[in-house]
Amino acid sequence: MKLSIIGAGYVGLVTGASLAELGHDVIIMDIDRARIEKLDKGIIPIYEPGLDRLINKNSESISFTTKMDEVIREADIHFICVWTPPLKDGSADLSAVRAVARDLGKAFAKRKIKTPIIVTKSTVPVGTGKAIRQIVRKEYKNDFSVVSNPEFLREGQAVADMMHPDRIIVGSNDEESAKTVASLYQDLRAPIIITDIATAEMIKYAANAFLATKISFINEVANVCDLVGADVESVAEGIGMDKRIGKSFLKAGMGYGGSCFPKDVRALQQFANHNGYDFKLLKSVIEVNEQQRQMVVEKLINNLVTLKNKNIFILGLAFKAHTDDVRESGAIDLIIRIQKQGAKIRAHDPLALLNARRDLDDEIKFVAQPYQGAQGADAIVIATEWPEFRDLDWSVIKKQMRNPLIIDGRNLLDPRQMRSHGFIYEGVGRR
């Protein structure tokens, strides 16, 4: 089938490449001219393992454009993959989604196409499908359908997630269009759930809010572990083996971040509230997540008495390992909090240095090598769970530091090993 992808970000590029791999012709559109120019030259503007290979392999069936008219000429099904960032009150900013709906409506009207299908992959609150229908209807009087097909990929393993999904959700009030969209994925052999459009939109928020709740839950358990001398890693293992609970998302630490969990939890809370429901549990999930970052600051102060003029080396800037994405990264939030206490910051990340530089001020010294950052440090904070940090020569690092303190905000390192090197080691809820 001929498909268009509108929005060439993490979701758009991975969706486009994967649908091309499944045998469809794909045109990828973005308003960011520089991004499309790069893609035309074969440069992938984001880091996502396997994405460049998949795009190169399917280059015959993938094209790029900045023009909506070209999109309409080339495709019958249009996937909206644009951003939906949070507004100040926590609700999702749908201005890009609305702009795309308007542009699609206008472009449809120019060409009189046979029943185009608009698919939302962007995470959008319940009711957005209906709103898209109204916006397009203003411009275009013939038949068209709106389908919700929320995306569950995880950055850092997005291609694998897209090609091997746990399930595919397709929601529409038009059964035929839902079946057409579902058929695009038939070769993936994943379970497909067809629902109405509001339910599909809700599934995405409920999934992310549940996962964030699991993280805040284990973080609260970790904080109690710290007080009573229990070990949260073993507690997580012990409860995770219960199939009703499951092992995933039980890693205690500095809390969740990234472009999805924080915004989606806030948006669900906000649209529940807007519809007259006070989602109390989510308020606590958010509060606990913020508290976890402050907990790291307090662990530093407890050990160093004051952070004024102390050299703190932050290992990790990405919101999680295996990505260059720093949006709502716990590490960035932590740096800002520590800076406010008067500390001098050095920071290192294997992939996210460039992106982090844009979000932080010039006072911070970014180092290309972890050993550089350790020189004269009063403390090291592990802020992202990059596995390669485990393999650093910690005895060399210890010699370079002024004070051998490690606050492991991701419970990445082995406490016994660190203590045997002579470090004062504190994790989150670990004995």
Ligand X SMILES: NC(=O)c1ccc[n+]([C@@H]2O[C@H](COP(=O)([O-])OP(=O)(O)OC[C@H]3O[C@@H](n4cnc5c(N)ncnc54)[C@H](O)[C@@H]3O)[C@@H](O)[C@H]2O)c1
Residues with a known catalytic role = 260
Closest CA to 42 of 56, 28, 63: 56
Regarding 31 and contact with ligand X (CB under 6 A), the answer is yes
| Distance separating alpha carbons of residues 133 and 267, to the nearest angstrom | 21
Regarding 120 and contact with ligand X (CB under 6 A), the answer is no
| Distance separating alpha carbons of residues 166 and 181, to the nearest angstrom | 17
Q: What tokens were used for 216?
A: 């805040």
Query: What contacts 202, CB < 8 A, 6 or more positions away?
Result: 126
DSSP tag of 421: T
Stretch that binds ligand X, among 29-37, 125-133, 308-316, 418-426 (CB under 6 A): 29-37
DSSP assignment of 126-194, as one string?
TTHHHHHHHHHHHH--S--EEEE------TTSHHHHHHS-S-EEEEES-HHHHHHHHHHTGGG---EEE
DSSP assignment of 208-260, as one string?
HHHHHHHHHHHHHHHHHHHHHT--HHHHHHHHHTSTTT-STT---SS---SSS
| Interacting positions 49-108 with ligand X (CB under 6 A) | 81-84, 96, 99-100
Place of tokens 């015959």: 60
**Which three-class secondary structure state does DSSP give residue 429?**
coil
Stretch that binds ligand X, among 2-10, 300-308, 336-344, 402-410 (CB under 6 A): 2-10
Measured CA distances, 198 to 125, 149, 166, 407 (Å): 9, 11, 21, 44
Q: Give whichever of 171 and 373 is closer to ligand X, judged by the CB atom.
A: 171
Regarding 318 and contact with ligand X (CB under 6 A), the answer is no
| Interacting positions 122-141 with ligand X (CB under 6 A) | 122-123
Which member of 151, 201, 233, 324 binds ligand X (CB under 6 A)? 151
Regarding 211 and contact with ligand X (CB under 6 A), the answer is no
Which member of 11, 192, 331, 407 binds ligand X (CB under 6 A)? 11
Which member of 3, 4, 5, 8 binds ligand X (CB under 6 A)? 8
The DSSP H or E segment spanning 347 is strand 344-348
Regarding 48 and contact with ligand X (CB under 6 A), the answer is no
Task: For 61, list phi and psi in degrees, rounded to 5.
Answer: -110, 10
Ranked by CB distance to ligand X, the top (closest) residue is 9
Q: How far is the CB of 162 from ligand X (least distance, A)?
A: 10
Which member of 153, 162, 182, 225 binds ligand X (CB under 6 A)? 153
Which member of 3, 5, 7, 169 binds ligand X (CB under 6 A)? 7
Which member of 101, 235, 260, 326 binds ligand X (CB under 6 A)? 260
Q: How far is the CB of 75 from ligand X (least distance, A)?
A: 14
Q: Give whichever of 270 and 311 is closer to ligand X, judged by the CB atom.
A: 270
Is 344 within 8 Å of 310 (Cβ atoms)? yes
Q: How far is the CB of 97 from ligand X (least distance, A)?
A: 8
Regarding 200 and contact with ligand X (CB under 6 A), the answer is no
Q: How far is the CB of 361 from ligand X (least distance, A)?
A: 23
Regarding 181 and contact with ligand X (CB under 6 A), the answer is no
Residues in contact with ligand X by the rule CB under 6 A: 6-12, 29-32, 35, 81-84, 96, 99-100, 122-123, 151, 153, 155, 259-260
